[in-house]
Amino acid sequence: VPLAQLSAMVDKWRPAVAPLAADRVFEPADLRAAIDNGELVNYYQPKVDVRSGTVVGVETLVRWQHPVEGLVYPDQFITLAEEHGLILDLTGVVLASAMDQARIWHEQGLHLRVAVNLSMETFSSVTFANFVSSAANTAGVAPQDVILEVTESRLMLDQRAPLEILTRLRLKRFRLSIDDFGTGHSSFTQLRDIPFDELKIDRSFVHGATRDRTALAMYHASLDLGKQLGMEVVAEGVEDRDDWDLVRRTHCDIAQGYFIARPMPADDLVAWIEVWNQRRVELAASAL
């Protein structure tokens, strides 16, 4: 069994494995130790160009390889990190390792953009822009190859620091992405205030949209808006053939989701790309 297929299988077991860890409430001290002991591992999920099928980048998604609980998903510890002052350290570890990985891929001739998730809670001080830039610099990765995916939170709406930091990062040529667009506080106001390069349509408006008039309307509206603002538009949650056909038919720029690939360990990516390169030719040839 090819590695990529194996990792897809492992991820498919998530529903069976997750309940154990899902019931587990972690203590801030556990997470503190996990950060220090290197128990956080980055998984990477491909983002592909819809028209050509080319792999244009990956999104970094952190997991906690817990010695007892197994693989713990970010839903179970990101909020904890945010609430206990650990998010900056967590982000530092994730970012450093993602930048190292980006350099390794670049050295292998894979010119991928690497996206990292940042919660607004991270933006507590203006020095954060320097922190990100030195992480990229240290690894020798150009800011243009780094995408910072930002999700908004209600708490930060009135504060000026996040806007300043994002503007500084944009001036340093990092690419900014507005994540989960259309949900929560990821909305119009942010688009007006912050110069985003990329808009990611939330998966609730993508997966199954062809069978849901409301979701479909929101999908179209988000796609139009992103295009009119000159942004690259990403559809997340492309889970099946119907979703894939929708993004092709409507000329969305980039797609991401289980139909293409599940998040995988860095070492599986090269093998996965080989498999995908065969599949994408067939997909591109098939009628809409």
Among 91, 117, 119, 186, binds Mg ion (CB under 5 A): 117
Minimum gap (Å) between residue 236 Cβ and Mg ion = 5
Among 117, 177, 186, 190, binds ligand C2E (CB under 6 A): 117
Residues in contact with ligand C2E, shown as a per-residue x/- string from 148 to 187 under the rule CB under 6 A: -x-x---------------------------xx-------
If binding is defined by CB under 5 A, does position 198 make contact with Mg ion?
no
**Beta carbon nearer to ligand C2E, 8 or 107:** 8
Residues in contact with ligand C2E, shown as a per-residue x/- string from 62 to 81 under the rule CB under 6 A: x----------xxx--x---
**Beta carbon nearer to Mg ion, 30 or 204:** 204
Give DSSP secondary structure letters for the chain. --HHHHHHHHHHTHHHHHHHHHTPPPPHHHHHHHHHTT-EEEEEEEEEETTT--EEEEEEEEEEEETTTEEE-GGGTHHHHHHTT-HHHHHHHHHHHHHHHHHHHHHTT---EEEEEEEGGG-SSTTHHHHHHHHHHHHT--GGGEEEEEE--GGGTT-SHHHHHHHHHHHTT-EEEEEEETSTT-SHHHHHHS--SEEEE-GGGTTTGGG-HHHHHHHHHHHHHHHHTT-EEEE----SHHHHHHHHHTT-SEE-STTT---EEGGGHHHHHHHHHHHHHHHHHS--
- Write out the binding residues for Mg ion, residues 162-181 only, by CB under 5 A: 179-180
- Write out the binding residues for Mg ion, residues 223-242 only, by CB under 5 A: 236
Residues making contact with ligand C2E (CB under 6 A): 45, 61-62, 73-75, 78, 91, 94, 117-119, 149, 151, 179-180, 203, 207, 237-239, 257-258, 263
